[in-house]
A = this chain, B = another copy of it.
């Protein structure tokens, strides 16, 4: 079982991407953790270190995939 961490900020674009992952991810292979960076700002640095530049994004097996564009990570820091 691998981890998939989905970072978002509650934006409409984020919700669409979250729905995609909840519906389409193979849950037999991946455990999905959903992190709302607005509610958990202490995890912004973790997302940054993983290579997340904008949300929504999902980190799977150490690889970052930005899905569409909701907000820049830099804008969540301020």
Contacts and interface: CB of A to CB of B under 8 A. Distances in A.
Contacts of A66: 67-69
Interface residues of A, number: 20
Copy count, this protein chain: 2
Interface in A31-78: 60, 63-69
A5 interface: no
A60 B24 contact: yes
A16 interface: yes
Interface of A: 4, 16-17, 20, 23-30, 60, 63-69
13 contacts: A4-B24, A20-B63, A23-B26, A23-B29, A24-B25, A24-B26, A24-B30, A25-B25, A25-B26, A26-B26, A26-B27, A26-B28, A65-B67
